[in-house]
Structure 1
């Protein structure tokens, strides 16, 4: 492993280690010492790359939001018709809810911080805007807002339910929101 400034991936390893730690132990357990150990970097690297824990957490959660937005992009960019867009939203819900448990935990750790602290609320607000902009490529702004909430809600319900609903129920929910009465 490279050391010092010759290690161009050190910052990214620290961010990854932070997200791994949050998934395993929560935000409350984050410390420079724990993250440095998890990332396999000298403790001094923490303050070289990040001014403090808050900056580290904001960077880590921003990278996580980028990851989820990339999942949205992958699904929605492939859709060429309204029906394909509806199917893409359903597939997105199922991929997110069937994905790694760590993603669910990190999401909810961020939501908890956002409920308490304005700077994290702003981070989640920007994440929602990006998600809705991707949905707005296929749906009007009001529908995109409703779909974004549906994605969040159904993802959570499917991920936490002991008997998650099937794709047909997801398709029906998406159809109801995206079809005029």
Structure 2
């Protein structure tokens, strides 16, 4: 029997993934401190009880959301660097990563720095950041020696941070020069 007293349940097999995506939107808008099950459920248009069905608490939800962010970003690194056939093209790809939407868009930057701040306080999330760094370094390591890869990974983080926070962001040319100097192609 269906009707007002027994509403039909909507079958949504990808609800968990949609909740993860919406959680990233809520974090981008309100920060980790302002993210709650209630806000995510409301933004996703699902019953609040749906949150506890799919996640074992807010920490589980945040971990899933930040894991998706890290994997999406690492995927972007892999795609950008896989297309490079020599060192200069790899440098161009790195500059594109720093100045493009993957690392440079305000939303992505806000999410990344929310993850960093949370991981600094919650060691279990360092596994997410460690896996992300490892994947990024593998992508970079296809084109650069180990020491350069480690330094370049840190340079990418630093230049991305400066571009996002500065009132007058570093120019594309400055980023290109920094990358080229680091890898010895300047």
Q: Give the paired residue count.
A: 178
* C-alpha distance in 1 between matches for 2:62 and 2:85: 37
TM-score by length of 1: 0.92
Does the 8 A contact of 1:14 with 1:35 survive in 2? yes
Aligned to 1:129: 134
More helix by share: 1
Contact 2:88–2:185 at 8 Å: present in 1 too?
Answer: no
1:75 corresponds to 2:80: yes
Q: 1:98: how far off?
A: 3.7
2:25: which partner in 1? Answer: 20
Counterpart contact for 1:58–1:120, Cα < 8 Å? yes
SS of the residue aligned with 1:42? coil
Match of 2:53 among 48, 54, 66: 48
Contact preservation (8 Å) 2:37, 2:58:
yes
Equivalent-residue separation in structure 1 for 2:62 and 2:9 (angstroms): 23
- Structure 2 unaligned segments of length 5 or more: list them: 1-7
> TM-score, structure 2 length as denominator?
0.89
Q: What is the rounded CA distance, in whole Å, between the counterparts of 1:17 and 1:41 in structure 2?
A: 11
For structure 1, the 5+ residue unaligned runs are none
Alignment check: 8 A CA contact 1:85 1:138 kept: yes
Deviations 1:18-76 (A, max 9, x none): 11111111111222221111111111211111111111100000001111112212211
Runs of 4+ in 1 over 6 A off after TM superposition: none
Q: How does 1:79-98 map to 2 (within 5 A)?
A: 79-95=84-100, 96-98=102-104
* 8 Å Cα contact 2:119/2:129 also seen in 1: yes
**Alpha-carbon separation, structure 2, partners of 1:131 and 1:90:** 14
**Larger-Rg structure:** 2
Partner of 2:37: 32
RMSD: 1.8
